[in-house]
Chain A
């Protein structure tokens, strides 16, 4: 009710502001004719800015040289052969397969940790009121520590394990947990949790059974989307990995960094394109689960 009167006032002030300029001044307000095209132009320019380098990279990875305005010498698969480890390349020790396999394993483990950690806390935050709920909520849905600071802390706290497989899994799980918690929260918010829970309880199910066999299956779409997003983000996590990694198999993001910083630009393009293909596949999967992209906003 109060928001309605507030909106009436907003409408009044907009109309009033328009009337006051009824004289010569209001002719200067050309938003009726220009507004929409200008906003569309901003959208167009931004989309071009975001997507042009992605497509150019993908195309350039099949080129031979890039000394003129555009890459030339298509179609050349040599960059891809180097990146995939089928040929020797400058500046890079081995192909993408081992690093990607290792990172996929780390990301999967981190994702499983996130299911165990994220689903229950998302549920208790949506369903219950409790002491310091707002603080817990803020802690849980925002990354507590930036990756670089977490890395310095890990180097000190776990000098032996910081850069190990276990250290990386814990780091990834913590850094990416907000994405799981938020997606699960938004899918739980669309259910009447109290009614569902009470129905199951009154039919004789224990609380644990209710949670595992009624609530969790109903939140499936949010959990799946959260898994996909946290997995993808962890698979290419760089800031934390770069600082803590010292020995053992080299994660995918460090392979990317080597190709970006030390290899010829076209080989870097091929390496980056590998990740583009993964992200594109992930977005296609997300679209089939009802999300438009890497967003935790539920589709209306």
Chain B
């Protein structure tokens, strides 16, 4: 039955464009076959999401594009490429792009590596309180970036626990030893947010591994390292790629942590600066936001092509 109508729509599409479109609208409004009814259901069920996405995201993004071309900071007037020219010519923006990309790449790679070890241990080892370990690893996902920044201050700030401990044992000055506001401190802040997310993605993949092959390799004399490299890793590779894609996106979008620990000038911090402190530079902020959005969007869709949708879990 469904096949018949699928053939039917095939012939419909050879009609003129307007006629085919009218027929499609007619089929949505008053479906005659089960396939048409199904299509209407899909449309109705997706409608609320798309209403939210259109008013919440697509229209505002369109406005963002318009704003970046406006002559006036407060109204959309005229046409001017000033904001884009500023973005393309001033060296500070190139530096921001470079900072954002290298820092996100380094922190993501580190976090995914740690997450592979963590999910391996959670899936394979007989750990006590396994459920509580999972809860503790996922706990930081709920923390907003500013709280993550505060966590790093608690560990490594001037009154931080580790700073004080090191100062106590070495006799150094606490102010010199504090590393929370350095790039190293920010690195740990990013890792604090990213390791849990990467682990949650990989945990799903590790749960689905076929353990027979691993056991066979071990029984035939391969060492654990060789077994992991030749048998386990190829099986979890799609999950590793998915974790990298999702974690990299998250790393690019981090804002609160870098607001509390402003060690590196990254894109989110700069967008905030353009709006709050450097005056109300909406045109430049819009242009930056647009570049930023297009990059993340393009990266995600390119990344998703490498993986199957099953691995995409947050």
Interface residues of A (CB under 8 A from B): 3, 6-8, 10-11, 13-15, 17-19, 26, 29, 31-32, 35-36, 39-40, 42-43, 46-47, 49-54, 56-57, 60, 66-70, 113, 116-118, 120-121, 123-124, 128, 130, 134, 136-150, 152-158, 170-171, 173-174, 177-179, 182, 186, 207, 232-233, 236-239, 242-243, 253, 256-257, 260-261, 265, 268-269, 272, 275, 279, 282-283, 287, 292-297, 300
Contact = CB atoms under 8 A, between A and B. Distances in A.
A42 to B, nearest CB: 4
A248 to B, nearest CB: 18
Contacts of A36: 125, 224
A148 B52 CA distance: 18
A149 B63 CA distance: 12
B272 A148 contact: yes
B111 to A, nearest CB: 10
A152 B223 contact: no
B164 A142 contact: no
Interface residues of B, number: 115
Interface of B: 37-39, 41-42, 44-46, 48-49, 52-53, 55-57, 59-61, 63-64, 67, 114, 117-118, 120-122, 125, 127, 131, 133-147, 149-155, 157, 159, 161, 164-165, 167-168, 188, 191-192, 195-196, 200, 203-204, 207, 210, 212-213, 216-217, 220-231, 234-235, 246, 249, 252-253, 255-256, 259-260, 268, 271-272, 275, 282, 285-286, 289-290, 292-293, 296-297, 300-301, 304, 309, 312-314
A15 B221 contact: yes
Nearest to B218: A14
B53 A295 contact: no
Contacts of B249: 142
Given A173-B56, A207-B41, A297-B200, A265 B49 contact: no
Contacts of B153: 265
Nearest to A175: B56
Contacts of B259: 242
Q: Tell me whether chain A's interface is mostly helix, strand or loop, or mixed.
A: helix
B118 A56 contact: no
Contacts of A156: 60, 63-64, 67, 282, 286
Given A142-B300, A293-B139, A177 B230 contact: no
A156 to B, nearest CB: 5
Contacts of B155: 52-53, 56
B5 to A, nearest CB: 13
Contacts of B196: 50, 294
B114 A50 contact: no
B42 A145 contact: no
B57 A66 contact: no
A42 B118 contact: yes
B224 A150 contact: no
Among A6, A147, A294, the one with the most B-chain Cβ atoms within 10 Å of its Cβ is A294
Given A10-B213, A139-B53, A237-B144, A120 B293 contact: no
A108 to B, nearest CB: 17
B151 A137 contact: no
A168 B221 CA distance: 59
A149 B292 contact: yes
A228 B142 CA distance: 11
A153 B60 contact: yes
Nearest to B260: A260
B35 to A, nearest CB: 11
Nearest to B196: A50
Contacts of B164: 68-70
Contacts of B235: 7, 10
Given A43-B122, A256-B144, 17 more contacts: A3-B210, A11-B230, A15-B222, A46-B114, A47-B133, A49-B191, A120-B45, A120-B49, A137-B309, A149-B290, A173-B56, A174-B52, A238-B256, A242-B256, A265-B157, A279-B143, A296-B200
